[in-house]
Amino acid sequence: MKEDVFVIDGGESLNGRVQVCGAKNAVLPMLAASVLTPEPVIVRGCPQITDVADMTEVLRALGVRAERNGRDITVSGTPALTEIPAHLACAMRSSVFMLGALIAECGEVRLFTPGGCRIGARPLDIHFDGFSRLGARVEYGEDFVRCTAQKLHGAEILLKYPSVGATENLIMASVKAEGTTRLVGAAREPEIVSLVRLLRKMGADISGEGTPVVTVRGVDCLDGAAAVPVPDRIVAGTVMAAVAVCGGRVELSGADSSVMGAVISPFLGAHTFLVEHGGVMVFESDGMLAPTDVSTGPYPLFPTDMQAPFMACQCYASGMSTMRETVFEDRFSHVAELRKMGARIALAGNTAFVDGSGGMRGAELRAADLRGGAGLVVAALGAEGRSTVSGVRYIDRGYERIEEVFSSLGGKIARVTAVR
């Protein structure tokens, strides 16, 4: 069996410039929203990653046109089908974004159990409870769920947790509902704001995005539009993590510091440096990191998607750090791999205690999920000696040719095909 692996010789400083593309977590719901009108919808600045490619395949499988031209993806047409194919649903969890859009546009959707990274339970009950409040009927099978609605109506929906996916799904489901919908306890992530900006350009009547209360006033129809997603703060943060452990100076072109406060703060606490010149973020590190105490949480707190890349930094800090994971209960799969490199990490419930006083050396590593895999790449770039990272397919879901990004900055990393 052949698979791609990364071969990394650590210890090189990273210097240069990185162009940050549109955020994966904004692009995917924006593409889903494109089925709310038969007219062309253009999502610009899309990264060339497998999750985006898979979402375009989902759209084509539903019978709409989805065409990529460089970094722009144009979607047009009316869905001919309302069942998301099992092999696509099982391959990527983001297929769940189609639920709200298809209920609103077609009055029906059938979805097999969605896949994605194994990082703990990510229940969909918040989504389905909201759909029911809007007037949809939800039926559960052994490995699928079916939602139907003759006519959706506005409602006040209290989200028991500020779920990003549920907030986006319920916004899409309610844009054509009769009356007004209020989402109370909504997620506030900037990726949601990107979705709403597209929907508003399409003619939707939405207010309150980026706050805990989002109001959607239903309209009869939506038009075509074009929009640009927010830059990917997780990709920018991952590059920062690598520069932090390796030392160097990198310009993050396109990154938006206004939505990255919680990402940036722990890096500054670790004694790295960040300035902006002409709207371009410039990040610098001498590789001498101080210990930090970090907790993940919903926006505007430190994002759970940055937990693994930043824990790699903590492995190089001069002292004891802590990382508390409050969003997912099983997102420490990378810890066992970091220990192979010499990391001293103790786990107690949802908290990792990271003693950075030991050295990090190269090892054979395997990624088990997207962000954990990125964390392993970061750790390997700073380590003494050679590392190999397998499970690259997970990393490719959210990072565009990450090996080319880091090699362009001076890192010694290459993608090779190995026989297992």
pLDDT in tens, 185-216: 999 999 999 999 999 999 999 999 999 999 99
Cα separation of 70 and 327, whole Å?
Answer: 35
Q: Which of 272, 273, 281, 285 is nearest to 246 (CA)?
A: 285
Tens-place pLDDT, residues 389-411: 999 999 999 999 999 999 999 99
- With tokens 């090699």, the residue in question is 407
* Beta-carbon contacts of residue 355 (< 8 Å; ≥ 6 apart): 319, 320, 321, 344, 345, 346
Whole-model pTM: value is 0.96
pLDDT category at 121 given cuts 50, 70, 90 is very low
Confidence of residue 144 (pLDDT cuts 50, 70, 90): confident
**pLDDT class of 92 with cuts at 50, 70, 90:** confident
Q: Which pLDDT does position 352 carry in this prediction?
A: 98
Averaged pLDDT for residues 358-371: 96
117 is catalytic: yes
pLDDT in tens, 8-55: 999 999 999 999 999 999 999 999 999 999 999 999 999 999 999 999
Q: What is the spatial distance between Cα 250 and Cα 101, in angstroms, rounded to a whole number? A: 39
Q: Average the pLDDT over 309-323 and give the result.
A: 98
Q: What are the sequence ranges of the domains in the chain?
A: 2-20+231-419, 24-227
Residue 121, classed as helix, strand or coil, is coil
Q: What pLDDT was estimated at residue 324? A: 98
What does the pLDDT read at residue 374? 98
Domain 2-20+231-419 matches domain 24-227 at the CATH topology level: yes
Q: Which CATH number fits domain 24-227: 3.30.470.10, 3.30.1960.10, 3.30.910.10, 3.65.10.10?
A: 3.65.10.10
Neighbouring C-beta atoms of residue 280, cutoff 10 Å? 14
Record: fold of 2-20+231-419: UDP-n-acetylglucosamine1-carboxyvinyl-transferase; Chain (3.65.10)
Phi, psi of 235 (to 5 degrees): -60, -45
Euclidean distance between CA atoms 413 and 410, whole angstroms: 9
In the chain, what percentage of residues exceed pLDDT 70? 98
Query: pLDDT category, 182, cuts 50, 70, 90?
Result: very high
* Torsion angle of C-alpha atoms 234, 235, 240, 243, degrees rounded to 10: 150
Are 131 and 148 in contact by the 8 Å Cβ rule? The answer is no
Q: Side chain identity at 90, as an amino acid letter?
A: C
- CB-based burial label for 361 (10 Å; 0-12, 13-18, 19+): middle
pLDDT single digits (tens) 280-303: 999 999 999 999 999 999 999 999
Averaged pLDDT for residues 247-267: 98
Tens-digit pLDDT profile for residues 317-358: 999 999 999 999 889 999 999 999 999 999 999 999 999 988
Work out the mean pLDDT of the chain and round it to a whole number: 95
